[in-house]
């Protein structure tokens, strides 16, 4: 709770810094505030505190995901020096909107009431509708913003309708009260669950509700796309799992088959379309769709091992995405576009960048010795424990398709030459963040026990 | 008896005007029908003793938002030539998926046991006083967080709308 207050107040403080033109103070203040918020979140560990007539529950699940969200935002802020300045003068507002989005994310991982879930999702979404469109002169950015807004508003309608039906069936917004209401047989409740599932699937880009993802990722500025792929996806899945774990777990026999079908659709739609992409950002967007499919596997296996699997997966995915999107930003800035050919010869001009990107895509593909391997491993493990062998087989096939398109960029960097490529200059922020990410991907890839037993 | 006939009249009005919104060729007519829909729903709220909600619905939706709609429509200068044409298969897919959703919802609503529902029948239930009690006790935190939401939206609107220096 304290961390939520700190993040919200920090956003307002950053707005004031912008008002009084303390541009140099923006980043230090944000970073200090985020560190304080992460520390305060960690203080809530094992306390299991309820706040404001059971509106929020800061259990270990909420604390772990809050810290993950805050630290990922920190990494993204580390890359943001001199980034927003190139877009326009309103730098403070961009930081403030990202912090507001983070506050929404923290609400989404700690809600204990459907009203809070709705408000959290809306705070997060509204900030992102604006952030997607901050390149005001760029038609692609405008299109991304408008498309995201229209689709998101439509999805919110489904979410709200579902919430209303569940209230009608159970008489409460409280997750514990819904879980103990015993209304799981009523058709009203089931329709509500399905509609909420549709609304949440939109937000985390699960097929067939994923169609906005590639255009929005491609049109948004790289750093914002990175924020969407990491913080937004983590918060969305944490909220998805929390809702189904704490409120709908007993009705799992009814919704499991729907989630299984969504999972298959998402895996195939994401992976097969990604094969045909020749722009790296679009490839990452489709791969983010496919990762939503793997994460759905864990939701099928409701239980506490599922939360732990989702946590490991989102940590691995966030780390790898920060590195992949970060290097995509550098390359497209230096070479004019993010076409896969732009990565040719990167290994010769920038060995460190090539190595980091290799590690990141290996982690995304799930190659052993990287964090991503254990992300997939734990997700598959909980799905197998629930008896979804056929689904895991399909997921492994998809993981293999994934290796094919992830390796295209590695081949471009190491095997292909680019005669007139010049070395890309790194600023200290990039160097620091990428080094941290490389270290953590290796650390969690070799000692997964560090994060696997948190929850 | 009067309440019942009023209910049926309002329901007919709401469904008829909602259909007219999507059937009407002229977008301005659509918006006018939408205003009618909102008025019918406001009538339903009054029948349900939700007086505050009825007033807010009237002021915010029928008043503010619809005026905004009309403004935008008139600025856009829509006509038959600029209307995008969708291919037939998309229309069929839309009808099928919308029809399926309707089927599920009708199926769900048909089984609802209305005898046990109803809750309170107190006539002052929807007054501002009672709403305020709930809002500032049980729902205090969502109420406060809504201010963060509105602030975010406001910052965003200014950011998008402001002229670049």
We report the CATH number of the domain holding residue B20 as 1.20.120.1200
The per-residue pLDDT string of chain A (455 residues; one tens digit each, 9 = 90 and over) reads 889 999 999 999 999 998 888 888 889 999 999 999 999 999 988 888 888 888 999 999 999 999 999 999 999 999 988 888 888 888 899 999 999 999 999 999 999 999 999 999 999 999 999 999 988 888 999 999 999 999 999 999 999 999 999 998 888 899 999 998 878 888 889 899 999 999 999 999 998 899 999 999 999 999 999 999 999 999 999 999 999 999 998 888 889 899 999 999 999 999 999 999 989 999 999 999 999 999 999 888 876 688 999 999 999 999 999 999 999 999 988 888 888 888 888 888 889 999 999 999 999 999 998 999 999 999 999 999 888 899 999 999 999 999 999 999 999 888 888 877 788 888 888 999 999 999 999 999 999 888 888 88
8 Å CB contact of B138 and A53:
yes
Establish if B109 belongs to a structural domain. Answer: no
Establish if B11 belongs to a structural domain. Answer: yes
B78 with B132, same domain?
no
| Secondary structure class of A448 (helix, strand, coil) | coil
How many domains, in total, are found in chain B? 2
B7 with B75, same domain?
yes
Establish if B2 belongs to a structural domain. Answer: yes
The upper half-sphere exposure of residue A278, i.e. CA atoms within 13 Å in the direction of its Cβ, equals: 4
Tell whether the model's pLDDT for residue B29 goes beyond 60. Answer: yes
With beta carbons under 8 A apart, name residues in chain A contacting B159.
Answer: 90, 93, 97, 130, 134
Which of B108, B155, B159 comes nearest A190 by C-beta?
B108
Contact status, residue A145 vs residue A130, Cβ threshold 8 Å: yes
Establish if B35 belongs to a structural domain. Answer: yes
B134 with B74, same domain?
no
Establish if B143 belongs to a structural domain. Answer: yes
Q: Which long-range contacts (CB under 8 A, 24 or more apart) does B153-161 make?
A: B153/A126, B155/A15, B155/A93, B155/A96, B155/A97, B155/A100, B155/A130, B156/A97, B156/A126, B156/A127, B156/A129, B156/A130, B158/A93, B159/A90, B159/A93, B159/A97, B159/A130, B159/A134, B160/A130, B160/A133, B160/A136
Q: Look up the domain containing B42 and give its range.
A: 1-83
Establish if B60 belongs to a structural domain. Answer: yes
How many CB pairs below 8 A link A and B? 88
**CB atoms closer than 10 angstroms to residue A252:** 19
- A238/B79: higher pLDDT: A238
8 Å CB contact of B107 and A187:
yes
| Secondary structure class of A9 (helix, strand, coil) | helix
8 Å CB contact of B104 and A126:
no
B79 with B135, same domain?
no
pLDDT at A193: 93
With beta carbons under 8 A apart, name residues in chain A contacting B151.
Answer: 12, 100
Q: CA-nearest residue of chain A to B118?
A: A168
B149 with B73, same domain?
no
B63 with B140, same domain?
no
Contact status, residue A134 vs residue B156, Cβ threshold 8 Å: no
Cα distances (Å, whole numbers) of residue A312 to A449, A452, B141: 10, 6, 30
**Segments in A20-86 forming alpha helices (H):** 26-43, 60-78
pLDDT at B119: 58
8 Å CB contact of A133 and B148:
no
Establish if B104 belongs to a structural domain. Answer: no
Domain end call among B83, B110, B138: B83
With beta carbons under 8 A apart, name residues in chain A contacting B164.
Answer: 88-89, 136
What b-and-e string marks burial along B18-48, b requiring 16 or more CB atoms within 10 Å of the CB? bebbeebeebeebbbbbbbbbbbbbbbbbee
Phi, psi of A342 (to 5 degrees): -65, -20
8 Å CB contact of A56 and B141:
yes
8 Å CB contact of A52 and B108:
no
Tell whether the model's pLDDT for residue B81 goes beyond 80. Answer: no
Which of A55, A126, A171 comes nearest B152 by C-beta?
A126
Distance in angstroms (rounded) separating the CA atoms of residues A386 and A380:
10
pLDDT at A377: 93
| Secondary structure class of A46 (helix, strand, coil) | coil
Establish if B122 belongs to a structural domain. Answer: no
| Secondary structure class of A367 (helix, strand, coil) | coil
Contact status, residue A40 vs residue A390, Cβ threshold 8 Å: no
pTM above 0.90, yes or no: yes
Which of B108, B156, B162 comes nearest A191 by C-beta?
B108
Domain end call among B83, B100, B119: B83
B64 with B135, same domain?
no
Distance in angstroms (rounded) separating the CA atoms of residues A193 and A164:
10
Distance in angstroms (rounded) separating the CA atoms of residues A284 and A295:
16
From chain A, which residues contact B within 8 Å (Cβ)? Answer: 8, 12, 15, 51-53, 55-56, 88-90, 93, 96-97, 100-101, 103-104, 107, 113, 115-116, 119-120, 122-123, 126-127, 129-130, 133-134, 136, 165, 168, 171, 186-188, 190-191, 194
Domain end call among B83, B111, B141: B83
From chain B, which residues contact A within 8 Å (Cβ)? Answer: 104-105, 107-112, 117, 119, 137-142, 145-146, 148-149, 151-153, 155-156, 158-160, 162, 164-165
Distance in angstroms (rounded) separating the CA atoms of residues B130 and B143:
15
Contact status, residue A91 vs residue A85, Cβ threshold 8 Å: yes
Q: What angle is formed at CA A407 by the lines to CA A405 and CA A408, rounded to 5 degrees? A: 65
């Amino acid at each position: 709770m304290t961390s939520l207050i700190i993040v919200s107040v920090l956003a307002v403080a950053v707005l004031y810094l912008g008002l009084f033109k303390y541009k140099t103070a923006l980043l230090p203040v944000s970073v200090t505030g985020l560190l304080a918020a992460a520390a305060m979140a960690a203080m809530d560990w094992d306390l299991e505190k309820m706040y404001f007539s059971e509106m929020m529950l800061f259990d270990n699940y909420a604390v772990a995901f809050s810290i993950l969200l805050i630290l990922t935002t920190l990494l993204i802020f580390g890359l943001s020096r001199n980034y927003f300045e190139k877009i326009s003068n309103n730098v403070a507002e961009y930081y403030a909107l990202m912090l507001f989005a983070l506050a929404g994310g923290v609400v989404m991982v700690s809600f204990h009431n459907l009203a809070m879930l709705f408000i959290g999702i809306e705070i997060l979404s509204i900030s992102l509708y604006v952030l997607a469109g901050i390149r005001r002169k760029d038609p692609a950015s405008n299109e991304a913003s408008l498309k995201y807004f229209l689709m998101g508003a439509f999805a919110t309608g489904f979410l709200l309708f579902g919430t209303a039906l569940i209230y009608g069936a159970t008489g409460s917004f409280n997750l514990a009260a819904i879980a103990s209401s015993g209304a799981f047989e009523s058709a009203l409740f089931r329709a509500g669950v399905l509609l909420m599932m549709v609304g949440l699937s939109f937000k985390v880009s699960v097929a067939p509700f994923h169609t906005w993802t590639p255009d929005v990722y491609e049109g948004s500025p790289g750093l914002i796309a990175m924020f969407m792929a990491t913080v937004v996806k983590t918060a969305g899945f944490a909220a998805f799992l929390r809702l189904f774990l704490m409120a709908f777990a007993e009705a799992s026999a009814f919704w499991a088959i729907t989630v299984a079908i969504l999972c298959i659709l998402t895996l195939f739609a994401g992976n097969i379309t990604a094969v045909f992409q020749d722009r790296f950002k679009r490839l990452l967007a489709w791969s983010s769709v496919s990762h939503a499919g793997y994460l759905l596997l864990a939701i099928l296996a409701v239980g506490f091992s599922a939360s732990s699997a989702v946590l490991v997966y989102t940590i691995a995915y966030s780390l790898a995405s920060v590195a992949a999107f970060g290097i995509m930003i550098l390359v497209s800035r230096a070479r004019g576009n993010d076409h896969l050919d732009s990565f040719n010869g990167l290994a010769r001009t920038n060995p460190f960048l090539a190595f980091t990107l290799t590690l990141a895509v290996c982690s995304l593909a799930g190659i052993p010795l990287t964090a991503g391997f254990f992300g997939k491993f734990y997700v598959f493990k909980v799905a197998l424990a629930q008896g979804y062998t056929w689904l895991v087989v399909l997921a492994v096939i998809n993981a293999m398709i994934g290796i094919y398109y992830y390796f295209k960029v590695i081949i471009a960097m190491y095997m292909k030459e680019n005669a007139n490529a010049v070395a890309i200059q790194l600023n200290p922020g990039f160097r620091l963040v990428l080094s941290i990410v490389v270290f953590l991907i290796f650390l969690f890839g070799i000692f997964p026990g560090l994060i696997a037993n948190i929850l | 008896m009067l309440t019942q006939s009023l209910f049926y009249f309002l329901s007919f009005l709401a469904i008829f005007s909602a259909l007219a919104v999507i059937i009407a060729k002229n977008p301005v007519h659509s918006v006018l029908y939408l205003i009618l829909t909102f008025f019918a729903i406001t009538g339903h709220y009054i029948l349900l003793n939700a007086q505050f909600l009825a007033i807010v619905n009237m002021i915010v939706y029928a008043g503010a938002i619809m005026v905004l709609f009309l403004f935008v429509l008139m600025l856009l200068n829509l006509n038959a030539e600029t209307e995008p044409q969708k291919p037939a298969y998309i229309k069929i897919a839309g009808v099928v998926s919308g029809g399926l959703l309707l089927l599920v919802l009708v199926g769900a609503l048909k089984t609802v046991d209305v005898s046990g529902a109803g809750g309170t029948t107190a006539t002052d239930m929807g007054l501002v006083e009672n709403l305020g009690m709930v809002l500032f006790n049980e729902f205090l935190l969502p109420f406060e967080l809504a201010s963060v939401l509105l602030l975010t939206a406001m910052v965003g609107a200014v950011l998008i709308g402001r002229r670049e220096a």
